[in-house]
A and B are shown apart, each in its own frame.
Chain A
Amino acid sequence: MATQALTPTKEGNDQSVEAKIQQFRDLFADAPEIGKKALENALSVLKSQASDLPPAVESAGRVGARLGKISELTIIVPLAPGGARRLRGFLRLLRGNLSQGANKVGTLHTMRFVFFDNDTRLLFATAFDGDWDTYIDDFVAKIPDYLDIIDSAWDGWPGIRHPGAKDYLAKHQITAEGWYVAYPDLTVAEILRLQRVGKAVDEFLDKVSA
């Protein structure tokens, strides 16, 4: 798909753009009125952007999507009996202070825990740097106990030291069909470094202008 945008001749480009616009139209032929109208309004923008697409989303390895350097992990697990009560109790005692574990891993941008379906299921979603296997290995190596305190609430969780742990995670993960990151080239480490650079530049400019 991505190669379409790289078609060398202008003529070929125009053709593929037209074909693409037609695909959008076909897709929305039976859409609700709101959608049809929105497509008509959006076509000119879609047309102008069709031959200049941003970098494509790739795979984060075994499972998950990656854009640039940042990947998504989205896991939905059934909770064990009593698991919701335990995990919620644990998370509430921490009062949002998850940095001790997360900073140790060092490749974690964001992470959320969401209970749903009357506390029978949990959504765990993170944005992280790099590939799936390396990321999970990092958790195993750096904060295995922390992880098991959380994951022991999950139904069927074998334990992070168990050889089946990765299969369990991969089995419950659902790869995102759409994944967007505002700054795909910046890892956690790079953002932390840039914050120091930014501060140094500010101090430097202060000195120069003083």
Chain B
Amino acid sequence: MATQTATPTANITQRDLTVEQKLQKLRDLYADAPELGKAALKNGLSMLTKELAAPSAAETAGRIGARQGKVSELTVFLPFVPGGAKRLRGFLQLLEGNFRAADAVGTVHDMRFVFVDNDTKLLFATAYDGDFDPYIADFAAKIPNAMDLWLCNFEGYPGMRNPSAAADWIAAHQIAAEAWYVNSPKLTAAETRKLERVGTAVDELLDKIGG
């Protein structure tokens, strides 16, 4: 969370730098890098000039998290209660990829559940549409059960029937990404799915005309 508050200040300073100054800053930064890092910087500088000159593309997802265009990231490390890792792993296996609850919310692009540090913590990382607080509120409103089913396995989870406490709990475990890239930042998950249907319809239309 500390990085979140520090970022805007850093960006203001860096906005005022010219590309040349930024390149110099990079060289300074990599002065004590391993040889391969120094060599890479030297070879890669020409590729970086464009990006260094570009206006800032980093935005925030509100309370916490990075956003690019319409798409935000949420990254949390959650501590398991005793037996929680075993239960969640069993639960995910029984689900066999059935995440229809996420389909129902409609603002999720992707999500991953990764067991880390000898099953003491879960890394949960997702890409979603919009800002943090409305996103969590949406889950609390639409799929409180599904949320409780997996989050009950973690220390201190207050339950989705207590949406504001649940949002605070998630935010407390979240770490904002220092950098976040989205290939198609203008598309929400719903818009991408709609385009998929448009694409199918156009193909069928063209088939009919051609056939």
Contact = CB atoms under 8 A, between A and B. Distances in A.
Contacts of B37: 86, 148-149, 152-153
A54 B100 contact: yes
B157 interface: yes
Contact of A100 (B48, B75, B194): B48
Nearest to B152: A35
Contact of A30 (B7, B26, B83): B83
Contacts of A147: 40
Given A92-B14, A99-B181, A177-B92, A152 B40 contact: yes
Interface string A46-71: 10010001111100000001010010
Contacts of A183: 189, 192-193, 196
A94 interface: yes
Nearest to B41: A149
Contacts of A180: 97, 99, 102, 108, 110-112
Contacts of B95: 178
A144 B153 CA distance: 41
A108 B196 CA distance: 18
| Interface residue tally on A, bucketed by range | 35 or more
A135 B100 CA distance: 28
A99 B56 CA distance: 12
B122 to A, nearest CB: 9
A210 interface: no
B57 A97 contact: yes
Contacts of A152: 33-34, 36-37, 40
B35 to A, nearest CB: 9
Contacts of A153: 33, 37
Contacts of B145: 38, 41-42, 45
Interface residues of B, number: 98
Nearest to A92: B10
Contacts of A54: 97-100
A37 B112 contact: no
A91 B110 contact: no
Nearest to A126: B181
A96 B68 contact: yes
Given A113-B179, A116-B77, A176-B113, A27 B11 contact: no
Nearest to B203: A197
B175 interface: yes
B89 interface: yes
A98 interface: yes
B112 A176 contact: yes
Nearest to B73: A112
Given A92-B10, A182-B108, A111 B29 contact: no
B78 interface: no
A89 B25 contact: yes
Which 9 pairs, one residue from A and one from B, show the smallest C-beta to C-beta distance? Answer: A152-B37, A96-B58, A35-B152, A148-B40, A178-B113, A145-B44, A38-B148, A96-B57, A95-B56
19 contacts: A30-B83, A49-B98, A86-B29, A89-B25, A93-B25, A96-B56, A98-B179, A111-B179, A111-B181, A112-B179, A113-B177, A114-B75, A127-B110, A145-B44, A152-B34, A174-B123, A175-B114, A177-B113, A182-B103
Given A54-B100, A96-B56, 7 more contacts: A32-B153, A82-B32, A93-B25, A97-B52, A100-B48, A191-B184, A198-B199
